[in-house]
Amino acid sequence: MHILVVGGCGYVGAVLVPALLERGHDVSVFDIMWFGDRLPPHPRLRVQAGDIRATDSVPMAGVDAVVHLANIANDPCSDLDPRLSWEVNVLATMGLAEAAIRHGVKQFIYASSGSVYGVKEELDVTEDLPLVPITDYNKTKMISERVLLSYQEGLALQIVRPATICGYSPRMRLDLSVNMLTMQALTKKRITVHGGGQIRPNIHIKDMVGVYLFFLEQGRRLRGIYNAGFENLSIMEIARRVARHVPAEIAVSEGNDPRSYRQNSDKLIGAGFAPRYDVEAGIRDVVAAYEAGLITDTDDCYNLRVMRKLG
């Protein structure tokens, strides 16, 4: 297959693209490169820099499947420029779907977000519950889903709602809860927990990549919306697990993020996907990468810091 990964130089893309190449696929990557390009050269890999708002520049010709990972990610980055977030996350996504249909693309996989659920009291947050987004970022993801669903007659569409991802990537992110708390323990011997009682679903980056590979293998047989999160843990429990691997003091401060929910991914598991990794593996990955000198606590590992520098 010829697979286009939009946003393929990012945190997940930097792990997904090599996995696709290992499986013999031809891969095109389209990315704005705000966070660099850490993909190793490969004869079946083509990397193109560009802005997805310029839809005509996205290389759709001859593509069998699109994996759309590009977005203005997380609440703080969206708050920097809400208009940019709506343009990139919603309008550009619509343009990509239309371009995919024009070029006869057979399959479109979209990375939404589990944060679209907002604050939920239900013990199991399933795909059929109403969405109550509470930030601009959450809202752009919800609207993007609805836009894409309007094109599902012309595409084999899979919408994935990932939990918070953890683990090592060549394009490392240290602004994600497990990774961030682990790096605090490694560099400061002190973990700062804001609130702590909030429940968050988690997924290891290797399982996240596995989900996309699974849907690509399924092709047109599976369609619709799927949660992807396999461990629902409080922020405090994550901190405690980190401290078991890296001895550190845990300090608690008042939290300002009310999001709390337990993601249920039985639909994805029932479709045949089997997770293989957990939060403990993510913590071990970050520790091992840090000790090997593969990651350092620098600004380029934080989306918000990079975007502020870019202005």
d(CA 69, CA 149): 17
d(CA 237, CA 125): 20
Q: Measure CA 298 to chain center.
A: 20
Q: What residues contact residue 243 under an 8 Å CB cut-off, 6+ apart?
A: 185, 191, 250
Cβ atoms of 64 and 2 closer than 8 Å: yes
Cβ atoms of 158 and 219 closer than 8 Å: no
Cβ atoms of 219 and 272 closer than 8 Å: no
Q: Could you give the dihedral angle defined by the CA atoms of residues 20, 35, 95 and 217, in that order, rounded to the nearest 10 degrees?
A: 10
Q: Which residues are catalytic?
A: 137
Task: Give, rounded to a whole angstrom, the gap between the first and last alpha carbons of the chain.
Answer: 38
Cβ atoms of 257 and 218 closer than 8 Å: no
Cβ atoms of 284 and 290 closer than 8 Å: no
Q: What share of the chain is helix, strand, coil (3-state, %, to 5)?
A: 40, 20, 40
d(CA 36, CA 49): 10
**Cα 163-246-113 angle, rounded to 5 deg:** 10
